[in-house]
Every structure is written in C-alpha cells, then in structure tokens.
Amino acid sequence: MERPQNKTVAIDTVPLPERTIRVRLPTSVAYNLKSFQKVQATILDRLGCTACCSGWDIRYDVIRSFAFDEKLNLK
C-alpha cells in the first residue's frame, strides 16, 4: 500500500473496514488525459471560465459521436 506524499482529504466519513486497500489513480485517468477521440486532452484549461466568445462550441458534438464509433475515431 502506497503512502500519500501530500495531505489527503477524505470525502467519506464512514470508518474504513480493517482490510481496506488504498489505490492511487494515475493522473492520466483522473483527468481524462488519455487520447480520446483525437480531442486534445489537457489540464491547463480545465475548470476555467466558460464564456470566452460568441461562437459554436463543438466539445459536446465531438463527445456525442463517441457512442456511435466503436473505434473511437472522430467522424
């Protein structure tokens, strides 16, 4: 079991059973950085301000096509 490097914050307050396994999630998975539908996966502009222009945001259009292309290719 790995020791965390930084202070950790527990979301759940129910006491843990004795044989609890602590697992760490790779940041590539936590922040969806794996290549997915060829959409650039980055960290820097996550959670920022959304109203940046006056145009057409295609992020939903791109993700929606996921359900129809098993090979994860952008249509």
Partner 1 sequence: MDFPLPELGVGIVYVPGLEPILEPTSTCIDFLEIEPQTLWQFHSGRKTSHFLPDYTLRHLRALPQRKLIHSVGNGLGGTYQPDTTFISALIDTIQALDAPWASEHLSVTQFKDRQKVYHTGFMLPPLQTYAGVKVAAETIRNFSRQLPVPLAIETGVNYLQPRSGELSDGEFVAATVEAADCGILLDLHNIWTNQQNGRQPVKEFLACLPLDRVWEVHLGGGFEHEGYWLDAHSGAVPEAVLSLTEQILPLLPNIKAITYEIFSSYIPLFGLDAIHSQLQEIQSLWQKRHSDRQKYHFKQTLHQSEMTPRQDIDNSLEPDEWETTLGELVTNGNISGRLADKLSEDPGIKLMQKLIWKFRAGAIVKNIGTLTRLIMIHSNSTTLEQFLDEYIKKTKPQTYASDECNGFLTFLVKKAPAIPYLQDILRYEQATIEAQLSQEPQLIQFSYDPRTLLEGILNGSLPDNIEQGSYELEIPPVSMAMDGPSQVGMS
Q: Provide the binding-site residues for partner 1, judged by CB under 8 A.
A: 2, 4, 6-12, 14, 16-17, 19-25, 27-36, 38-64, 66-68, 70, 72, 74
Q: Is the dihedral of CA 41, 36, 26, 11 positive or negative?
A: positive
Least separation in angstroms between residue 25's CB and partner 1 is 5
Q: Are 19 and 27 in contact (CB under 8 A)?
A: no
**DSSP three-state, residue 39:** strand
Cα separation, 70 vs 75, whole angstroms: 11
**Distance of closest approach, residue 65 Cβ to partner 1, in angstroms:** 8
- Closest distance to partner 1 from the beta carbon of 13 (Å): 10
